Chains A and B, each alone.
Chain A
Amino acid sequence: MTRADVIAIGLAAAAVGATYAHFWQPAMAATQFEVRIAGQPSGRYALDGNRDILVEGRLGPSRLRIENGRVRFIASPCRNKVCVHSGWLSHGGDAAACLPNRVSISLLGDAEASVDAVSF
């Protein structure tokens, strides 16, 4: 191993470490979220302020709470409350749904791609 090797490998290791620091930050925070009812987009809300939103689903109103840049279901007229147990959502790409009530929310980050993936 030459001296240049030591320098190059050291720099390379530092660069790899830097990618961890850069790309493994907490996921990109979402800035807004979209509500869908029965698959149809019904509205977009900014993730700021603290407030509740009532969404009228098939069975009745689902209550969403926005707080500190996060959002969650806090009540829904369904049996198992899977949506409520999904808890707080704050990252782009996160989603929760109340299937019986046909209400779903998905969080949107700043980077929105037109396609998720291409497969062959």
Chain B
Amino acid sequence: MPTPPSALTPDREDRLVAGFAALAIVIHVLEAGLPSPVPGVKPGLANVITLIVLLRHSLRLAVWVAGLRVLVGSLLVGSFMAPGFWLSAAGAVASLTVLALASLWNAARPSLRLSALGLSVLSALAHMSGQFAVAYGFFIPHPGLLRLLPPLLTAAFVFGLVTGAATVAILRHLPPAGPQRGARSAGPHPS
């Protein structure tokens, strides 16, 4: 039976992005419901999904998944275009930039490859730095805010380790990635 002609046919990659983004959004929204002592401090478990997509598929897919999560997550939580959204977006841009650089590093130096744990810590710190830069630069340009930076970065560091460990554990239980470009960087890492 011929398929009806359509201008927009989702391919395999689109479905992957949609599925992973949906997972990440659910985690994002659940996490938004957790009370947090300080604004900006949260585990960032949705980053687990970004890391899994990055390691098992490609950076491009990871960018899609993270971007959709920030956009749709903010729409669901009701913070779209509010300060929280810009902080989230700045954090995502910063952490994806760092992940992109780290991917280049991993491609260039396979012998000194970063696993999900290292990637997670680096991207968590980048995420916090990015959102802090926007908070300080646009919303609260008060020198007192700088005193919050060290404890915030400490929280990011600890949560980066936690989500990184979670990612490593999950990756170990996933079957090897399909025949996809970039799948080389997937498999379980000896740790």
A interface residues with partner B (beta carbon < 8 Å): 1-5, 7-9, 12-13, 15-16, 19-20, 23-24, 28, 92-93, 109, 111, 113-118, 120
Contact = CB atoms under 8 A, between A and B. Distances in A.
B121 A12 contact: yes
B19 interface: no
Nearest to A11: B122
Contact of B143 (A9, A16, A109): A109
Per DSSP, chain B at the interface is helix
A3 B140 contact: no
Nearest to B138: A118
B82 A120 contact: yes
Contacts of A116: 140, 142
Given A5-B114, A19-B150, 12 more contacts: A2-B112, A2-B114, A3-B112, A4-B109, A5-B118, A12-B122, A23-B150, A92-B143, A93-B143, A114-B141, A116-B142, A118-B139
Contacts of B89: none
A24 B147 contact: yes
Interface stretch (B1-9, B55-63, B153-161, B173-181): B153-161
B130 to A, nearest CB: 15
Contacts of A2: 112-115, 118, 189-191
B121 A8 contact: yes
A23 B191 CA distance: 35
Find the residue from B109, B138, B150, B189 having the highest chain A CB count within 10 A. Answer: B150
21 contacts: A2-B112, A2-B113, A2-B114, A2-B189, A5-B117, A9-B121, A9-B161, A12-B121, A12-B122, A12-B160, A16-B153, A16-B157, A19-B153, A23-B150, A24-B150, A109-B143, A113-B142, A113-B143, A116-B140, A117-B142, A118-B139
A16 B112 contact: no
Contacts of A23: 146-147, 149-150
Find the residue from A4, A5, A113, A115 having the highest chain B CB count within 10 A. Answer: A5
B140 A117 contact: yes
B33 interface: no
Contacts of A28: 143
